[in-house]
Amino acid sequence: MAWTRQVLRVNLTEGTCIPEPLNMDWANQYLGQRGLATRYLFEEIDPACDALGADNKMIMATGPLTGTMASTGGRYSVITKSPLTGAIACSNSGGFFGAELKNAGWDMIIFEGKSPAPVYLSIENDQARLVSADDLWGKSCWETDEILHARHQDPQMRIAVVGRSAEQGCLYSSVINDMHRAAGRSGVGTVMASKNLKAVTVRGTMGVGNILDPARFMETVAAGKKVLAENAVTGEGLPALGTQVLMNVINEVGAMPTRNMQEVQFEGAHKISGEAMLEPRESDGKPNLTRNGGCFACTIACGRISTIDREHFSVKEKPQYWGNSGGLEYEAAWALGSDTGIDDLDALTYVNFICNEDGMDPISFGATVAAAMELFEVGAINTSHTDGVELKFGNAQALCWAVEQSATGTGFGADLNLGSKRLCEKYGRPELSMTVKGQEFPAYDPRGIQGMGLTYATSNRGACHLRSYTVSSEILGVPEKTDPLESDGKAGLVKAFQDATAAVDSAGLCVFTTFAWTLDDIAPQIDAACDGDWSPERLVEVGERIWQLERDFNLKAGMTGADDTLPDRLLKDAAKSGPAKGKVCELDNMLPEYYQLRGWTADGQLTAETRSKFGLPS
């Protein structure tokens, strides 16, 4: 129970939408969402396939608690092979789309093949059909959302959509749902567009009435909500300042990647921080932040809803951007701000709006612009490439120009849409790309937070903070404080975070709950909702099984232990300031122990014993 036990298989080549039963053996081993969809993908595609070919598949998957009253139970993920990394991609999103899909009666949608012409998938409960999207191709996410809502005359309908960047082949395009929530990373939107699939519309009115023990479930859900409400982070800090509360923290501890990770502290950090978003502007007396916002069933509500100063150069002639929309999260603010050396809060907010409007991952976009700025400053590119624009660190006008180019794949935007790795290779300076497995770094410099170096190097989807957020322990002291400058002991910490996170990502819950919840809070909710005995220990086992399967996918895709590394800048160039001054990331001290803890060989391959222990498919 809790699963609807129904999968919708959409063959885009044939134009068919066929229901099939969920594989419950796999659900018992992989739970749902991230884990279960990875099991399906592993079974159904060759991991070595072309990510943008018809042979790749894309799965939109919910977890067993998606659509229920469990706090944050509104998540869904997009699982596919990434065109950016060539590795497994799994991008998780909030908003309301996932819960609506579950309420329509579906655990997941598997998209296969490629449509001969643009289409969108329309779902109304058990009715699913493909509809021509000829008139939607070439429209932004926001335009498409508006047109489809008007066409279906249903304001409650939820929409996931790709923008013009994905149509143009931008390798880090997102799937945008509910206007400004995103399955953001690894180019999952690019895969969707490669299949000529513009959007998925969902209306579900059937409810999630298949809870195993409703009375016990409500008790466990209420207990969980009480923990979140009484916790200072989830009950106060995140609603008030959002993730942007981290801007000043991470800068103070000297782990703020700055100017393409050349430095670890940004002098303008305060101007683009969560605190700055609350300060009234001089021009109109209003702050950047209008209010916080919550996703389906969320009792934290960390989301930012913002406005831009109407007199700001970015929007002065563009009244369509004068209203409220999704504001800066820490990751976007860092990538668009300190990594490019820009401290103009309104400019960053505008660029973030455009990333939502046309579906670009603001982390990868910002980090790619940062790489381009360094290429410009070292002379590898010049104004002949940039249409006369001085693409230098700190140039806010250049950043706004770049996002408009990137959104439509115009001019130098086509180069930016390659991502940092391919861009730096193209212009002969591959060492300037700050990526792992081809994916750009998030907002924590591993010279100042050692565990994050191992996190990045071993993340199954390339550089990513959401696979094991050891920042929580190393900097924020949750659940307990460890020394961020010490690499000893971090292998076990990273593994523990990786396994627990994989389980949370597979349940339908938001990983932000884990600032207050442990698996002891989560397991009773799953156990009350789902068939079978779901203990914290079983969730850890499921989490590790998922990690091993993702790893196996990547190995079969052609990756090796040699891909578990970091750019030389982080391994050889010492931090220039702050507590980490003089330190590099000590990956060599952590990686061998990590392989051992994982049950892998010294070169990162799964052993027969490990395969057998977790019952991995051959």
Partner 1 sequence: MQITFKLYATLQHLLPPEARDNAVVIEVPEDVTLHEVIERFNVKRKDAHLVLINGRYFGAADRDAKGLLVDGDVLAVWPPVAGG
> Which residue(s) pair with 575 in the sheet?
581
Residues in the chain: 618
Which region among 235-243, 353-361, 391-399, 567-575 touches partner 1 (by CB under 8 A)? Answer: 235-243
Question: Quick one: DSSP state of residue 338?
Answer: I
Instruction: For 530-579, give the DSSP string.
Output: SSS---HHHHHHHHHHHHHHHHHHHHHTT--GGGS---HHHHHSPB-SST
Size of the site for partner 1 (CB under 8 A): 41
| Residue 212 CB neighbour total at 10 angstroms | 16
Of residues 46-75, those binding partner 1 (CB under 8 A): none
Collapsing DSSP states into helix, strand and coil, what is residue 91?
A: strand
Of residues 569-608, those binding partner 1 (CB under 8 A): 578-579
Surface-to-core class of residue 114, CB atoms within 10 Å of its CB (0-12 exposed, 13-18 middle, 19+ buried)? middle
Of residues 534-553, those binding partner 1 (CB under 8 A): none
Check binding of 229 to partner 1 (CB under 8 A). Answer: no
CA distance 220 to 518: 13
Min dist. Cβ of residue 184 to partner 1 (A): 12
397-410 in b/e burial notation, b at 16+ Cβ within 10 A?
ebbbbbbbbbbbbe
Min dist. Cβ of residue 254 to partner 1 (A): 5
| Residue 56 CB neighbour total at 10 angstroms | 26
Q: Which is nearer to partner 1, 291 or 318 (CB)?
A: 291
Min dist. Cβ of residue 443 to partner 1 (A): 9
Per-residue binding string, partner 1, 491-530, x by CB under 8 A, is: --------------------xx--x---------------
Q: Which is nearer to partner 1, 214 or 237 (CB)?
A: 237
Q: Which is nearer to partner 1, 46 or 483 (CB)?
A: 483
Task: Quickly tell me which residue has 């061998």 as its tokens.
Answer: 592
Asked if 445 contacts 465 with a C-beta cutoff of 8 angstroms, the reply is no
CA distance 262 to 14: 50
Question: Quick one: DSSP state of residue 234?
Answer: I
From candidates 99, 160, 238, 370, binder to partner 1 by CB under 8 A: 238
Min dist. Cβ of residue 362 to partner 1 (A): 14
| Residue 453 CB neighbour total at 10 angstroms | 30
Pair type for strands 6-11 and 76-81: unpaired
Q: Which is nearer to partner 1, 406 or 455 (CB)?
A: 455
Asked if 91 contacts 55 with a C-beta cutoff of 8 angstroms, the reply is no
| Residues in Cβ contact with 269 at an 8 Å cutoff, skipping those fewer than 6 apart | 247, 248, 251, 256, 337, 338, 343
From candidates 76, 172, 330, 441, binder to partner 1 by CB under 8 A: 330
Question: Quick one: DSSP state of residue 600?
Answer: B
Q: Which is nearer to partner 1, 101 or 246 (CB)?
A: 246
| Residue 421 CB neighbour total at 10 angstroms | 25
Q: Which is nearer to partner 1, 18 or 574 (CB)?
A: 574
CA distance 493 to 320: 46
Q: Which is nearer to partner 1, 486 or 537 (CB)?
A: 486
Q: Which is nearer to partner 1, 121 or 345 (CB)?
A: 345
CA distance 553 to 540: 20
Check binding of 420 to partner 1 (CB under 8 A). Answer: no
Q: Which is nearer to partner 1, 449 or 549 (CB)?
A: 449
From candidates 1, 348, 463, 471, binder to partner 1 by CB under 8 A: 471
Q: Which is nearer to partner 1, 270 or 291 (CB)?
A: 270
| Residues in Cβ contact with 74 at an 8 Å cutoff, skipping those fewer than 6 apart | 66, 67, 94, 95, 96, 98, 99, 295, 296, 297, 298, 508, 510
Which region among 17-25, 156-164, 471-479, 584-592 touches partner 1 (by CB under 8 A)? Answer: 471-479
Asked if 224 contacts 306 with a C-beta cutoff of 8 angstroms, the reply is no
From candidates 242, 366, 451, 567, binder to partner 1 by CB under 8 A: 242
Min dist. Cβ of residue 499 to partner 1 (A): 17
Q: Which is nearer to partner 1, 273 or 307 (CB)?
A: 273
Min dist. Cβ of residue 121 to partner 1 (A): 31
Q: Which is nearer to partner 1, 233 or 526 (CB)?
A: 233
Of residues 151-210, those binding partner 1 (CB under 8 A): none
Q: How many helices (H) and strands (E) does the chain have?
A: 25, 17
Of residues 245-304, those binding partner 1 (CB under 8 A): 245-246, 248-249, 252-254, 270, 274-275, 302
Min dist. Cβ of residue 233 to partner 1 (A): 5
Cis peptide before 479 (omega within 30 of 0): yes
Min dist. Cβ of residue 165 to partner 1 (A): 24
Q: Which is nearer to partner 1, 80 or 472 (CB)?
A: 472
Check binding of 237 to partner 1 (CB under 8 A). Answer: yes
Min dist. Cβ of residue 476 to partner 1 (A): 5
Q: Which is nearer to partner 1, 402 or 585 (CB)?
A: 585
> Which residue(s) pair with 61 in the sheet?
77, 108
Q: Which two tokens stand for residue 353?
A: 């709006």
Min dist. Cβ of residue 281 to partner 1 (A): 16
Asked if 333 contacts 348 with a C-beta cutoff of 8 angstroms, the reply is yes
Which region among 16-24, 324-332, 336-344, 548-556 touches partner 1 (by CB under 8 A)? Answer: 324-332
From candidates 286, 316, 392, 481, binder to partner 1 by CB under 8 A: 481
Q: What's the half-sphere exposure (Cβ side, CA atoms, 13 Å) at 290?
A: 13
Binding site for partner 1 (CB under 8 A): 231-233, 236-238, 240-246, 248-249, 252-254, 270, 274-275, 302, 329-331, 465-466, 469, 471-472, 475-478, 481, 483, 511-512, 515, 578-579
